[in-house]
Amino acid sequence: MASVTTYDGAKIFYKESGTGPPVVFSHGWPLHADVWDAHMALVASHGFHAVAHDRRGHGRSTQTWRGNDLNTYADDLAQVIEALGLREVTLVGHSAGGSEIARYVGRHGTSRVARVVLLGSVSPQVRRTEANPLGLAPSVLDTVRESMRTRRSGFFQALTRTFFGANRPGHTVTSQEREAYWLMSMALGTKGASEGVESLFGADLTEDLRRVDVPTLVLHGDEDQIAPLEATGRRSASLVPGAALRVYPGAPHAFAGMRSYREPLGRDLLGFLRS
Q: Is 224 a catalytic residue?
A: yes
Share above pLDDT 90 across residues of the chain, in percent, rounded to a whole number:
88
* Exposure on the CB side of residue 55, measured as CA atoms within 13 A: 34
- 138-144, long-range: CB < 8 A, 24+ apart: 140/201, 141/197, 141/198, 141/201, 144/197
Most confident of 76-80, 133-137, 147-151: 76-80
Range 3-274: architecture per CATH: 3-Layer(aba) Sandwich (3.40)
Helices (H) and strands (E) in the chain, counts: 10, 8
Predicted pLDDT of residue 133: 84
Domain ranges of the chain: 3-274
Predicted pLDDT of residue 98: 98
Q: Looking at residues 216-245, what average pLDDT do you find?
A: 96
The overall pTM is greater than 0.85: yes
Among residues 34, 54, 76, 224, the one annotated as catalytic is: 224
Q: 31-69: per-residue pLDDT in tens? A: 999 999 999 999 999 999 999 999 999 999 999 999 999
Among residues 95, 121, 123, 199, the one annotated as catalytic is: 95
Q: How far is CA 67 from CA 40, 60, 193, in A?
A: 27, 16, 12
Provide the mean pLDDT of the chain.
Answer: 95
Q: Is 222 a catalytic residue?
A: no
Among residues 32, 39, 108, 253, the one annotated as catalytic is: 253
Quickly state the pLDDT bin for 72 (edges 50, 70, 90): very high
If one counts every other C-beta atom within 10 angstroms of the C-beta of residue 141, the result is 18
Q: Looking at residues 148-174, what average pLDDT do you find?
A: 94
| Whether 59 contacts 80, CB under 8 Å | no
